[in-house]
């Protein structure tokens, strides 16, 4: 039995969209934005997931069985098949009725292959309404994708530059045990407020990321401060100690830190560039003990 995962195939964030899907076990890309997987579609979990479900039938149209009297929605994007949905349905033996989005059965028609999918009735990722956001807060969708690259439910996740805590909020929302710190008291208060507003738990303290001493947690996430403080040279004390802080990590920076990370002996396993209107965010993922789901 296989499953289809459909992701938002937007060109701007393509690298991150693909990396997130692969990190969660999306499997084989069968059409732009469409994966065939052995794992059930994780509705609401993927930041960029837009649909999917269990494959009920697969193959050429003449073999696709639909339940008697069924209505089917023909998904045109992201496969970009041209033609009327009614023409596609007319090619199925039982000629089911056309239904708008949101119905239980969906038909995907990528080149040369057809899939009838029983959809997973659950919401797509929704950004939470957080009481505290600043101009440097990460967008929640981006934060969720980053968390999904390295963390799994139950992991202990730490953010040493937590700001308003958007990464910790997303880690907590998937079931991680979160803690964080920031050198600014205001950030500490705001991260606490954001977690509390969603009924999430997390220990937030004031601390300097450059002098942290702690037992390693499972995952470190961090959206590094812009400006001089943590740029290449000054980052050394932080990146040197990454393995003593966590087994796996995902960092965001506004500069390319690959050289510094590699020189410190932790070459990133993944480096993505995520463009924004005014600058490029660099995402680095590293460490060990990565597992699917």
Least separation in angstroms between CB 210 and ligand SAM: 5
107 touches ligand SAM by CB under 6 A: no
223 touches ligand SAM by CB under 6 A: yes
In the set 37, 137, 148, 179, which binds ligand SAM (CB under 6 A)?
137
**114-119 vs 97-98, strand pairing mode:** unpaired
Least separation in angstroms between CB 236 and ligand SAM: 13
Least separation in angstroms between CB 141 and ligand SAM: 12
Least separation in angstroms between CB 130 and ligand SAM: 9
Q: Could you give the string, one character per residue 173-212, with x where binding to ligand SAM holds by CB under 6 A and - elsewhere?
A: ---------xxx--x--------------------xxx--
Are residues 273 and 263 in contact, defined by beta-carbon separation less than 8 angstroms?
A: no
Q: Which is nearer to ligand SAM, 122 or 203 (CB)?
A: 203
Least separation in angstroms between CB 151 and ligand SAM: 15
- H/E segment holding residue 225: none
User: What is the CA angle 184-284-246, rounded to 5?
Assistant: 65
Please report the DSSP string for 231-251 in residue order. Answer: SHHHHHHHHHTHHHHEEEEEE
Q: Which is nearer to ligand SAM, 43 or 250 (CB)?
A: 250
Peptide bond into 78 cis (omega under 30): yes
166 touches ligand SAM by CB under 6 A: yes
In this structure, what token pair is assigned to residue 227? Answer: 């400006």
The residue whose two tokens read 């796996």 is: 248
225 touches ligand SAM by CB under 6 A: yes
Half-sphere exposure (Cβ direction) of 172: Cα atoms closer than 13 Å = 24
In this structure, what token pair is assigned to residue 146? Answer: 């980053």
Phi-psi region of 158 (alpha: psi -120 to 50; beta: other; left: phi over 0): beta
161 touches ligand SAM by CB under 6 A: yes
d(CA 236, CA 261): 8
**Strand partners of residue 5:** 35, 52
Least separation in angstroms between CB 291 and ligand SAM: 25
Q: Which is nearer to ligand SAM, 6 or 281 (CB)?
A: 281
| Residue ranges binding ligand SAM (CB under 6 A) | 136-138, 161, 163-164, 166-167, 182-184, 187, 208-210, 223, 225, 229
């Amino acid at each position: 039995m296989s499953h289809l995962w459909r992701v938002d195939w937007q060109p701007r964030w393509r690298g991150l969209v693909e990396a997130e899907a692969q990190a969660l076990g999306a499997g084989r890309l069968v059409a732009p934005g469409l994966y065939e997987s052995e794992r059930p579609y994780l509705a609401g979990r993927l930041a960029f997931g837009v649909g999917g479900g269990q494959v009920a039938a697969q193959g050429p149209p003449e073999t696709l069985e639909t339940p008697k009297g069924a209505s089917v929605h023909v998904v045109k994007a992201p496969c970009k098949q041209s033609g009327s949905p009614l023409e596609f349905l007319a090619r199925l033996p039982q000629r089911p009725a056309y239904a708008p989005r949101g119905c239980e059965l969906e038909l995907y028609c990528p080149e040369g292959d057809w899939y009838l999918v029983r959809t997973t009735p659950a919401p797509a990722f929704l950004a939470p309404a957080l009481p505290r956001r600043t101009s440097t807060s990460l967008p929640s969708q981006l934060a969720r994708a980053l968390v999904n690259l390295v963390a799994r439910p139950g992991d202990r996740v730490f953010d040493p530059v937590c700001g308003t805590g958007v990464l910790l909020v997303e880690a907590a929302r998937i079931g991680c045990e979160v803690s964080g710190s920031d050198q600014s008291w205001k950030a500490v208060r705001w991260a606490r407020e954001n977690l509390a507003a969603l009924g999430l738990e997390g220990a937030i303290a004031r601390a300097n990321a450059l002098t942290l001493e702690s037992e390693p947690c499972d995952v470190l996430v961090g959206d590094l401060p812009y400006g001089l403080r943590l740029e290449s040279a000054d980052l050394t004390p932080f990146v040197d100690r990454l393995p003593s802080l966590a087994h796996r990590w995902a960092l965001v920076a506004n500069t390319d830190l690959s050289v510094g990370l590699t020189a410190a002996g932790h070459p990133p396993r993944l480096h993505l560039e995520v463009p924004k209107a005014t600058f490029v965010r660099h995402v680095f993922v590293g460490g060990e003990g990565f597992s699917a789901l």
